[in-house]
Amino acid sequence: MNLFDDNLAGYLENHSSPENELLKQINRETHLKEPRAHMLSGHYQGRVLSLISKMKSPKRIIEVGTFTGYATLCLAEGLNSDGIIHTIDINEELEERVQGYFNDSIYADQIKYHIGDAIDIIPTLHDSFDMAFIDADKKNNFNYYELILDKMPSGGVILIDNVLWKGKVLEDTPDKQTEIILELNEKIAADERVEKVILPIRDGLFLIRKL
């Protein structure tokens, strides 16, 4: 199921704020160099992340799943002037290129880039987080969610990507990967510690606020 065809996607992008030049570069180079370029948040979702971050004006953000750093830089746009974003990814092969993008940005001093397993790294971060974006290996999404929620004050915001899974969440006989997404969605829907809504943005974005 294709939730958004190319014409609608183009319309949404054309009526949203534009990407800056660095984001355009990352977008272009990711599609040229990465076989899984579809993992990139992209222009439209990037503007959504940026705007939510700006409305929240967080002092501390945590991102699980850096990929090529596009979403990281979008989230950083909303940081408080002395804010920090911690971003975690397990793919060390991209580290040099992604760090280069961060160094070229105006947020270079505000981005802490971690390479390794987020399950191990999150407990070592002693900050309290105002905002989080989870866009990593789906089987661990609920584990990341629990670890981060424990580090959030009331009012903290968590965003989780890919919760509609190309519409497969509606299939009668879901595959194993879809079952993981369905289980995550059900657990969060039943979690009385938070208020939540799924936004039908790109591949589905869970917007969650800690009570």
What is the average pLDDT across 62-89? 98
The radius of gyration computed from the CA coordinates of the chain, to the nearest angstrom, equals 16
100-159 tens-digit pLDDT? 999 999 999 999 999 999 999 999 999 999 999 999 999 999 999 999 999 999 999 999
Residue range 158-179: mean pLDDT, rounded = 95
* Secondary structure (3-state) at 50: helix
Place of tokens 């002037």: 81
Please, what's the largest Cα pairwise distance for the chain?
Answer: 48
pTM of the model: 0.95
Residue with tokens 């065809």: 5
Chain mean pLDDT for the chain? 96
DSSP string, 64-92: E--TTSHHHHHHHTT--TT-EEEEEES-G
Residues whose CB is less than 8 angstroms from the CB of residue 48 and which lie 6 or more positions away in sequence, other chains included: 199, 201, 205
Tell how far CA 79 is from the center of its chain.
15
> Which pair of tokens denotes residue 197?
């809504």
pLDDT of residue 6: 78
E strands present in the chain: 60-64, 84-89, 111-115, 131-134, 157-161, 194-199, 205-210
- pLDDT over 80 (residue 90): yes
pLDDT, one tens digit per residue, over 69-81 is 999 999 999 999 9
> Within 13 A of 106's CA, how many CA atoms are on the CB side?
11
Query: Which amino acid, 67?
Result: F
Element (H, E) at 211: none
Domains plus CATH for the chain?
6-210 (3.40.50.150)
Asked if the model's pLDDT at residue 8 lies above 90, the reply is: no
> What is the number of alpha carbons within 13 Å of residue 20 lying toward its C-beta?
11
